[in-house]
Structure 1
Amino acid sequence: MDGLNVLPLAVTMMAGPQIMSAIIFVTTPRAVRVSLAFLGGVAVATTVGTAITWSLASLFDLGDPGDSGSSGKIIQYVLVGFLVAAAIKNWVRRETIQPPKWLGTLMAADPGKALKVGLLIILLMPSDIVVMLTVGTNLAQADANFAEALPFIAATVLIAALPLLFLLLFHHRAIAAMPRVRDWMNTHSWLINIIVCGIFILLILA
């Protein structure tokens, strides 16, 4: 993907409420069915979102990828500014930041709701929109076809599937560990957000 590291981008896509949702779903009574529906939503949303950003970016002349003054680079610098502001906000508000209240409703989710969550948590999450904008811009600037985004999409779904894979491979250990992981992420959501912003800034500037 012309310099973009697929795995860190996928991690950035799923860090925060996204992976917390996946962890919550594997602690529900119908863990496998609900988790598979969630993964389907993530796959569709990531594919559609990336296709839209790539299509929109392809409509414009973004210039040479090696030119620091090109339109594509300017877009990426604006995204860096957004991420820096988000990281500072999370640091300043770290004592009061709480996970979204809707996460608490997922324990009773059925496959239909899990599918909807998978769609919306990608398409409406600002951090994921920024990632997909960056991927789409990078692909368009390199005159790449959409097929080159498939490794990014696949890696995003794989990261989302890790809690379910852990459950299937290590059933009893997963049942004991997942609630503790979920609680830690609930109390350290501000730190996770800052780390995600930092990783993404490094990816854009690299």
Structure 2
Amino acid sequence: MDGLQILPLAITMMIGPQIMSAIIFVTTPRAGRVSLGFLAGVAAATAAGVAVMMGLAALLDSAVDLGSSRSNGSAGQIIQYVLVGLLAVAAVKNWVRRETVEPPKWLTTLMAADLMKAFQVGLFVILLMPSDIVIMMTVGIHLQQNNASYAAALPFIGLTVTVAALPLLARLLFHRRAEVAAPRVRDWMNTHSWLINIIVCIIFIALIID
């Protein structure tokens, strides 16, 4: 996968509660420690998730030929189009329910998280988020269609962790300004979670049908 493909995928992996968690962690008293735990969880979850999805794609390919990534009629492409339909339904649902959609309640508990809790959150925001599962599935199918090894997924994994690290990097680079801005960004994302969910769906739909 080239840079033009993995950059949007890595960004989409972290849009939503994922990046909201990272922002919350940099506003805690132990920002550096818990943020590193969170990043370790994200790295482990993404690496494991991609490996599992590549294995599932290989099993599926042995049963039903996934075909080439350039073939519009291939089984792999049909699966991705089904995912587009599901994402479109999710986007419409978020729009209809925009007045009542709220961020996950567990986000409010992160201010008191320790290193282990932050690591677990890093795991769960990747492995339990439907959007991230779909993205890793897409990566697995793409690599299987192109007969690529797991090493080809390493840039995607590394870039996903880099995106997750942006709030911490901003705090380290800009110090006081980042400390003031981070709570404002966190609060805005809390009140606009429905919009963030729609943006994730639209971006991923665009990536699949491109």
Q: Does 1:21 align with 2:21?
A: yes
Q: State the AA in 1 paired with 2:152.
A: E
Within the candidate set 162, 167, 181, 1:163 is matched to 167
Q: Which residue of structure 1 lines up, in the alignment, with residue 97 of structure 2?
A: 93
* Residue deviations 1:37-69 (CA, integer Å, cap 9, x gap): 000000000000001001110121211222211
* Residue deviations 1:4-61 (CA, integer Å, cap 9, x gap): 6111101110000000000000011110000000000000000000010011101212
Q: Does 1:52 align with 2:52?
A: yes
Aligned-residue CA RMSD in angstroms? 1.1
How many Å separate the matches in 2 of 1:116 and 1:3? Answer: 29
- Runs of 4+ off more than 2 Å: none
* Residue deviations 1:67-106 (CA, integer Å, cap 9, x gap): 2111100110111011101100000000110000000000
Q: Does 1:75 align with 2:51?
A: no
Q: State the AA in 2 paired with 1:103.
A: L
How many Å separate the matches in 2 of 1:4 and 1:27? Answer: 32
Q: State the AA in 2 paired with 1:163.
A: P
State the 1:124 CA deviation: 0.5
Q: TM-score with structure 1 length normalisation?
A: 0.98
How many Å separate the matches in 2 of 1:14 and 1:2? Answer: 19
Aligned length: 206
**1:87-126 correspondence runs (5 A):** 87-126=91-130
Gaps (5+ residues) in structure 1? none
Q: Which residue of structure 1 lines up, in the alignment, with residue 180 of structure 2?
A: 176
* Residue deviations 1:149-180 (CA, integer Å, cap 9, x gap): 11111110001000000011111011100000
Q: State the AA in 2 paired with 1:128.
A: D
Gaps (5+ residues) in structure 2? none
Q: Which residue of structure 2 lines up, in the alignment, with residue 151 of structure 1?
A: 155
Q: Which residue of structure 2 lines up, in the alignment, with residue 62 of structure 1?
A: 66
Tell me the SS of whatever aligns to 1:154: helix
How many Å separate the matches in 2 of 1:137 and 1:65? Answer: 9
Q: Does the 8 Å contact 1:4/1:203 carry over to 2? A: no
Q: Which residue of structure 2 lines up, in the alignment, with residue 12 of structure 1?
A: 12
Q: Does 1:188 align with 2:195?
A: no
Q: Does the 8 Å contact 1:2/1:138 carry over to 2? A: no
Q: Does 1:141 align with 2:148?
A: no
Q: TM-score with structure 2 length normalisation?
A: 0.96
